[in-house]
Chain A
Amino acid sequence: MSFFGFDPTGPPSSKRNDAEELDFDDEDDAFNEETFGADVTDIRKDFDFGYGAKPQAEESILKPATQSSIKPGLSYAKAAQEELLQPMAALWGDSTSNEEERKEVTEEKDDSKKVLSLEEIEAKLKQQTPSSAGVQGTANVPGQPPVVQQPQQQFPNPYMLPPQVQQQMLAAAVASGQFPNMESASQAMAQSMMAAAAFQQTGMMPPLPFMNVPPHLQQQQQQPGQPQQPQQQPPSGLPQGQVPNQPQSQPESQQGKTQTAGRPVSQPLSVDRFPPIGVGIEETAKPQINQQQQQQQQQQYHQQQHQQYHQQQHMYRNNNRGYNHQQQRAQRRDYYQQQLQQQLEQMSPEEREKFTIRQNKVSKITRCSGFMGPKDKDFVTRFQLSQIVTEDPYNEDFYYQVYQIVKSSLGGATNDVNSIAQKYLDQSGHRLGGRSKRVDIALQRMQQQVSKAVTVAKERGQRSSGLSKEGALGRVSFGTGKQPRQQIIIKKEEASSEEKDDALPKEYKFPRSSRSFQLSIIEDIYTQVLKLESMERENQTYQTTELWKSLHLNDKIKTSTDEINPFISILSFDKTMKVFQRLFHFLSKEEQEQIIELIFTHLQKIDIVLKSSYKNYADTNYSIPKNVNDKIELFQSTIMRALVIYIGDTNFQQILSILNEIISNNNVLFLCTTKIGCSLLTVIISRLELIKQEYSKNLSAQDLSNWSLVYDKLFQGLEGRLASIFPPFFSNDESRKVVNEETNKNDGYIWQFLATLSLGGLLNHQRIIVDEIRNEIFGVMSLSKTTKEEGDAVKAAGLLENLNLFLNVMGLNATEDDISELASEA
């Protein structure tokens, strides 16, 4: 009599099968171990195909039923059956009905059984050999159960699959985009499947002893197992069609089904009776082979049942899906708690306290972990990055770019995308590389994210024109990193606004003389300059016509008393001075010429030149206000500097014409009362003299006579009032002298001016100059003398030095006491 018609003596072919199957089984060593348990010795004992196994089997069936502790070798056949039969539970109903049923039968066993099965798994996992881990490949993550754990929906029965198939599946999962890489895919599986997988293992126990048990016994054997099934059974534990093991489980599950119907349960089985683990692993393969062999035989004999099984299986899957999901979470929690308890028991009180604190921390951190999938995380990073990155960093992120340049000039240059990625990682606390500790991978991924984000930002830039409605005042814009709030963008006036001026409401117009008008011109200039600078950075060709237009060089403003050029009127604003060199740089040679000419022509109309004359401050003891002094300094360092550089590059004729412009359009005497005017004239005259002396060959007689004509004109303007060049606070003429906070400043510029003036002049010019400022000269000499007597030799020498700057031009030299011929030439 054989079970399922199986002939215990076995057909001769079975031996051949044995040999054939050998390779396969060896290969799947790890799975065998996992699937069937590591207790091989016992397997062998039981596995004797009905040769006198009867009493043993009987024993194993009856005894263990009441035992709650692990008893090796006796009952794993039942356990296996039980597991295999489990899916049937789903057929009866959902989880609640299962639970009820279970409670009826084995209330008090519930906990212990569950617990123990988990323990067992854990122990098993610990015992797993490296070789098995190797077979499973990427699925093994250190610190996690090295079981192959895969999403049940996708891989219902991972244990039965050859490793390469699993690999393929993993790869497919990765390719589908669910997981960024193999590692994370398998990790995700491992996490979600931890507990469920444990049950799968038990579920896969081969029904070895069952084979040699006579049918009637087997019936008994199976009964007790049924009530417990619902609780342990994950649907994924079900055997599958494409797997070799399948036929073996098929008859059983079917049997279980038929038996379950209405049969009262008397002896619940528990997993407790699973064989102990950790026995020799190499041996696992052998019984497995036998088993397989038998399976094959069964397969041959029971085609019918096979088909039935398939139907069943479909039903299991459909029914169990939702139920299983719910359980997973609970199971996982239980599993961790269980582990925790075990660990705690082994610790000393201090250790335990530490551990508990640490555990609390960890659980706090991980409480909400895992809610976001890799896709969600990627989305968030990309979203955040898309706010950071910009297509036009120099305009939108100017200060950071400059900072980067400064920084990279100190250190090494950095790739833009890399630096953003690195920065993001640093800021978001991901620099450790996450769970896998792979900083390079994290960085690499972030770089990908950044480049994606740049693309997104570009696209966004294209459509950020916003919603525009015909006739509406503005349009709805979308929030960006720079404009976080939605706001209405007021339509910008087109370039042709001048024509449309009349259409504008009154309040939007500024009278041309107003300060607002000047300020608006300046902002316009800045806008143009920034635009051009941005184009220059990107090596684009640019047109300066708009900039030129924005300067309003040919406009005139009428004030109550005068007509003034807008550009001249804005030159005294700090911000215009600051931008002058930047805009000057963009202008063509002709435009530069034009602008310089304009400035020199209107020199005394420039507000700051006007204000820098000491004559404005007669009421306040000639002390110049601080803000004016600041502006003078700024003017000198910006506009005047540009002018001086320009003059240095210009030919004699042009400079001469500039000087002529100055003289004809300005009150030279007034200009000379200002530091700016004085200095500019000094520069121009000395440049002319320099060219005349160094390159006189290149100059025509016409040029030279022009120069002397212009000089005469200049001198006429000053003659007779040369002494007024000296501001009272610099004057050493007792009759004009005023002492204020300016007095101690350097008056060198005045002596320089006088020196160049006398340099350009003839002897009679020089004589007039000396004659007019005689009082100043002697004043300096006497001051120098008293200063020296007071002990400040340095200052005294400085005073004389400035004086001699002038005197030396005429071949004279001054000391504290006397003026003599310059001795050096003698």
Chain B
Amino acid sequence: MSQAVTSSVSSSEPLDLIKFCLDEQIYLKLRGGREMVGRLHAYDSHCNIIISDAIETIYYIDKEDGEMKNTKKKSDMIFVRGDSVILATDATNVETN
């Protein structure tokens, strides 16, 4: 017995959107021109976040040619303090470059 397709499920709290990403790949935009993608392990109400197998991308402007470049850093497990988090979303929502 199938229900109407139009019905949907809701999230009741803003942080539920982060909760949905538990154990999934999450994308974080951080202060200081950084991005981070990894598997979400834990988060709290301050948006402190622990992710594993994280790849951090640091964007910077090259002094010589003035172009924007980036470097990547890998971490097995990393704690991201909440006050540096600008944006957090399911990594599938973000086109990886």
Contact = CB atoms under 8 A, between A and B. Distances in A.
Chain B interface size, under 10 / 10 to 19 / 20 to 34 / 35 or more = 20 to 34
A517 B9 CA distance: 6
A483 B13 CA distance: 16
Interface string B56-96: 00000000000000000000000000000000001010000
A508 B7 contact: no
Contact of A485 (B22, B24, B45): B45
B10 A516 contact: no
A423 B58 CA distance: 42
A508 B10 contact: yes
Interface stretch (A269-277, A518-526, A603-611): A518-526
Chain B facing A: main interface SS:
loop
Interface string B11-23: 1111011011111
Contacts of B97: none
B8 A501 contact: yes
Nearest to A565: B2
Given A483-B45, A520-B16, A512 B92 contact: no
A287 to B, nearest CB: 77
Nearest to B93: A515
Indicate the member of B21, B24, B92 with the most A CB atoms within 10 Å. B24
A510 B7 CA distance: 9
Nearest to B15: A490
Given A485-B45, A512-B5, A515-B90, A501 B24 contact: no
B51 to A, nearest CB: 14
Contact of A554 (B1, B17, B23, B45): B1
A498 B90 contact: no
Contacts of B1: 554
Interface string A490-510: 111100011001001000111
A575 interface: yes
A573 B12 contact: no
A510 B9 contact: yes
Contacts of A361: none
A555 B3 contact: yes
Nearest to B5: A558
A557 B45 contact: no
B2 to A, nearest CB: 4
A574 interface: yes
A520 B7 contact: no
A575 B23 contact: yes
Interface in A546-591: 554-558, 563, 573-575, 578
A487 interface: yes
A511 interface: yes
Contacts of A556: 2-3, 5
B11 A520 contact: yes
B5 A557 contact: yes
Contacts of A557: 5
B20 A574 contact: no
B7 to A, nearest CB: 6
Contacts of B3: 555-556
Contacts of A555: 2-3
B24 A519 contact: yes
A523 B17 CA distance: 10
B10 A509 contact: yes
A520 B7 CA distance: 14
A639 to B, nearest CB: 16
Indicate the member of B1, B19, B92 with the most A CB atoms within 10 Å. B19
B7 A512 contact: yes
Contact of B8 (A512, A522, A558, A563): A512
A501 B11 contact: no
Contacts of B46: 485
Nearest to B22: A575
Given A519-B21, A519-B24, A520-B20, A487 B8 contact: no
A573 B1 CA distance: 24
B10 to A, nearest CB: 5
B70 to A, nearest CB: 24
Contacts of B20: 516, 519-520, 522-523
A517 B90 CA distance: 13
Contacts of B23: 573-575, 578
A523 B7 contact: no
Given A512-B5, A516-B20, A490 B13 contact: yes
A302 B46 CA distance: 81
Contacts of A554: 1-2
Indicate the member of A487, A520, A522 with the most B CB atoms within 10 Å. A520
Given A554-B1, A555-B3, A563-B2, A575 B24 contact: yes
A511 B8 contact: yes
Given A520-B16, A520-B20, A523-B19, A510 B8 contact: yes
Contacts of A509: 8-10
Contacts of A563: 2
Given A487-B45, A492-B12, A563-B2, A516 B90 contact: yes
A498 B6 CA distance: 12
Contacts of A510: 8-11
B44 to A, nearest CB: 9
A367 to B, nearest CB: 36
A557 B5 CA distance: 7
B41 to A, nearest CB: 11
A763 B70 CA distance: 66
Nearest to A474: B13
Indicate the member of A497, A512, A519, A557 with the most B CB atoms within 10 Å. A519
Contacts of A493: 10, 12
A575 to B, nearest CB: 4
A566 to B, nearest CB: 9
Contacts of A492: 12-13
A510 B14 CA distance: 14
A501 B22 contact: no
Indicate the member of B9, B17, B46 with the most A CB atoms within 10 Å. B9
Nearest to B92: A515
A574 B20 CA distance: 13
Nearest to B39: A574
Contact of A517 (B8, B21, B92): B8
A483 B3 CA distance: 39
Contacts of B24: 519, 573-575
A485 B10 CA distance: 26
Nearest to A494: B12
Contacts of B21: 519
A490 B8 contact: no
A656 to B, nearest CB: 26
Contacts of B5: 512, 556-558
Contacts of A497: 10, 12
A55 to B, nearest CB: 89
B10 A504 contact: yes
Contact of A521 (B9, B12, B14): B9
Contacts of A520: 9-11, 16, 20
A524 to B, nearest CB: 8
Indicate the member of B16, B21, B92 with the most A CB atoms within 10 Å. B16
A554 B2 CA distance: 6
A490 B12 contact: yes
A546 B6 CA distance: 22
Contacts of B90: 515-516, 519
Contacts of A523: 16, 19-20, 22
Interface of A: 483, 485, 487, 490-493, 497-498, 501, 504, 508-512, 515-517, 519-524, 554-558, 563, 573-575, 578
- Pairs of residues from A and B, 5 with the lowest C-beta to C-beta distance, nearest first: A519-B20, A556-B2, A509-B8, A575-B23, A493-B12
26 contacts: A485-B46, A490-B12, A490-B14, A492-B12, A493-B10, A493-B12, A497-B12, A501-B8, A508-B12, A509-B10, A511-B8, A512-B5, A512-B9, A516-B11, A516-B17, A517-B8, A519-B24, A520-B11, A520-B16, A522-B20, A524-B9, A556-B2, A573-B23, A574-B24, A575-B22, A578-B23
Given A508-B10, A509-B9, A575-B23, 6 more contacts: A491-B12, A508-B11, A516-B20, A520-B9, A523-B16, A555-B2
